């Protein structure tokens, strides 16, 4: 079946869904870092992120967080509700790492006094610059109400995921969320969109502080595939068929 491609991003492709208001989200093995300057493949990543994100979105739905997720369709695809993506990356930090360490000179691994939320504008050409609530509301990327709703959801998600990951021996250092607007009978709701996976989270082993996320790719630490697999294994969602099933299909539409 040939489906219409709606959008192709760095790690995912969106296709037209089987019914109006739905899309199919296809997870690729492609990995990029440093605003596209570093590109590569992480074998099987798409399969694992599909499962990991499915699992986390389902858990979040169970505690009442609305998400775009409908159901997983196959190894690399999930059915999602079509939303209007709010052009912001909402970053939550529990422990200093990455850009905050560099920008503010805080040693990586320093526990932050409280969860810190940052907003970045989703704009590759500009390198996703950090913006404030002032920019967001003045330029109309989100209304003060939208922003408040996203912040409340984000803090609930952080609390929940912190506990969930701690339970499997992982520290949730930081992560990035994206939200979208969903219209139902003239009513607008803000729902969690995109994905939650080791591509968008920093996860450190509680006992060893070993990095179990995309930093292994960004920083050439090796054992990248293994780290994604280990996260999936600990969450109990590692595909049983294993690596054989994780190869990308020969022909991609």
Residues of the shown chain interacting with ligand UDP in the complex, contacts defined by CB under 6 A: 89, 91, 98-99, 128, 174-176, 200-202, 214
- Whichever of 17 and 48 has its CB closer to ligand UDP, that residue is 48
- Whichever of 166 and 188 has its CB closer to ligand UDP, that residue is 166
Determine contact, residues 43/50, Cβ cutoff 8 Å. Answer: no
Supply angle C-alpha 32, 135, 64, rounded to 5.
Answer: 70
Rama region for 164: left / alpha / beta (φ>0; ψ in -120 to 50; rest): alpha
Supply angle C-alpha 71, 72, 75, rounded to 5.
Answer: 175
- The SS3 assignment for 124 reads helix
For residue 77, the minimal CB distance to ligand UDP (Å) is 21
For residue 241, the minimal CB distance to ligand UDP (Å) is 28
Q: Which of 47, 55, 57, 78 is nearest to 239 (CA)?
A: 47
- Whichever of 82 and 174 has its CB closer to ligand UDP, that residue is 174
Q: Is 39 exposed, middle or buried (0-12, 13-18, 19+ CB in 10 A)?
A: exposed
For residue 183, the minimal CB distance to ligand UDP (Å) is 26
For residue 173, the minimal CB distance to ligand UDP (Å) is 7
- Whichever of 116 and 252 has its CB closer to ligand UDP, that residue is 116
Select the residue whose beta carbon is closest to ligand UDP and give its number: 98
């Amino acid at each position: 079946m040939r489906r219409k491609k709606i959008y192709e991003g760095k790690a995912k492709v969106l296709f037209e869904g089987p019914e109006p208001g739905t899309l199919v989200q296809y997870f690729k093995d492609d990995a990029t870092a440093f605003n596209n300057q570093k590109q590569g493949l992480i074998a099987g990543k798409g399969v694992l992120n599909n499962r990991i994100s499915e699992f986390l979105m389902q858990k979040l739905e169970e505690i009442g967080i609305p998400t775009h997720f409908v159901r997983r369709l196959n190894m690399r695809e999930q059915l999602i509700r079509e939303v209007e993506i709010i052009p912001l990356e909402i970053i939550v930090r529990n422990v200093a790492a990455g850009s905050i360490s560099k920008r503010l000179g805080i040693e990586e691994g320093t526990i932050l006094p409280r969860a810190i939320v940052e907003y970045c504008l989703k704009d590759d050409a500009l390198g996703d610059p950090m913006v404030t609530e002032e920019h967001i509301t003045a330029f109309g990327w989100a209304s003060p109400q939208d922003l408040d709703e996203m912040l409340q959801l984000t803090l609930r998600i952080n609390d929940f995921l912190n506990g969930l990951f701690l339970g499997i021996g992982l520290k949730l250092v930081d992560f990035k969320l994206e939200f979208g607007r969903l219209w139902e009978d003239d009513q607008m709701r803000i729902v969690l969109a995109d994905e939650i996976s080791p591509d968008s989270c920093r996860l450190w082993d509680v006992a060893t502080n070993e990095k179990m996320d995309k930093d292994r790719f960004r920083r050439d630490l090796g054992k990248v595939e293994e780290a994604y697999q280990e996260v999936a294994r600990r969450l109990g969602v590692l595909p049983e068929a294993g690596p054989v099933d994780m190869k990308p299909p020969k022909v991609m539409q």
